[in-house]
Amino acid sequence: MRATPLVLISLLFVSCPEPELYNAPDSDGDGWSDELDCDDTDAAVYPGADELCDELDNDCDDAIDESPVDADTWYGDSDGDGHGGDTFVELGCTRPDGFVALSDDCNDLDPGTYPGAEESCDGADNDCDGEVDEEDAVDAWDWYFDGDGDGWGVSDDVATACEAPRDYVAHDGDCDDADPA
């Protein structure tokens, strides 16, 4: 009579000895015996567990907080303005020197450029909002509408900007903006 594959597999299991640690004590119930588990009082600590930022050796490899799954992302702040760029990035449980939690700096080489900085008339996006030399720049000029093109504008039609808008001039006081004379 010929043995079926199922019978052969069954015979293999019958002939294998039971592992010695199969019935070993597991005090914390994590599936690892007291002999193999580096902390059998904590079910979250066992060989192969995820490493966490908790100053424990969660995975029983004799290293603490290496490559933790809950690490924070830190961004290099080259100019020291409290806002980092995305050039230098580190993961870790604690903030390394020279790194910050924010990665919103549009020019990490200029300490005067970061979100919320004052906009200036300098050809740069100082406040990282995607616009350059906005009308709210701290050093923007008042420009006056000059309808007759005589170089003098009217006092009640003012535009504040870094550069003169079309038909605006730096001088006001035109008493008749319809007459260039």
Tens digits of residue pLDDT in 111-126? 999 999 999 999 999 9
Q: Is the pLDDT of residue 5 over 90?
A: no
* Cβ-Cβ contacts under 8 Å for 93 (sequence gap 6 or more): 53, 65, 68, 71, 72
Task: Flag whether 19 is in a domain.
Answer: yes
Predicted confidence (pLDDT) per residue in 79-98, tens digit: 999 999 999 999 999 999 99
Half-sphere exposure in the Cβ direction for 177 (13 Å, CA): 18
Task: Flag whether 2 is in a domain.
Answer: no
Section 52-56 average pLDDT: 95
Task: Flag whether 166 is in a domain.
Answer: yes
- Please indicate, yes or no, whether residues 123 and 147 belong to a single structural domain of this protein: no
Do 114 and 123 touch, CB atoms closer than 8 A? no
pLDDT at 151: 93
Distance CA 62, CA 162 (A): 61
Task: Flag whether 148 is in a domain.
Answer: yes
| Boundary (domain end) residue, out of 21, 39, 64 | 64
Domain count for the chain, please give it: 3
- Please indicate, yes or no, whether residues 59 and 100 belong to a single structural domain of this protein: no
Distance CA 74, CA 94 (A): 9
Task: Flag whether 1 is in a domain.
Answer: no
| Boundary (domain end) residue, out of 38, 64, 90 | 64
Section 69-75 average pLDDT: 97
pLDDT at 3: 53
Q: Is the pLDDT of residue 74 over 90?
A: yes
Better-scored residue on pLDDT, 175 or 138: 138
Q: Is the pLDDT of residue 16 over 50?
A: no
Share of the chain above pLDDT 90, in %: 78
Predicted confidence (pLDDT) per residue in 21-51, tens digit: 456 899 999 999 999 999 999 999 999 999 9
| Boundary (domain end) residue, out of 22, 40, 64 | 64
Task: Flag whether 117 is in a domain.
Answer: yes
Cα angle 84, 72, 101 (rounded to 5 degrees) comes to: 25
- Please indicate, yes or no, whether residues 58 and 15 belong to a single structural domain of this protein: yes
User: Residue 169: which domain range?
Assistant: 140-181
**What is each CA distance from 166 to 121, 125, 146, 161, 162, in whole angstroms?**
18, 22, 9, 11, 13
Question: What's the pLDDT band for 172 if we cut at 50, 70, 90?
Answer: very high
Task: Flag whether 129 is in a domain.
Answer: yes
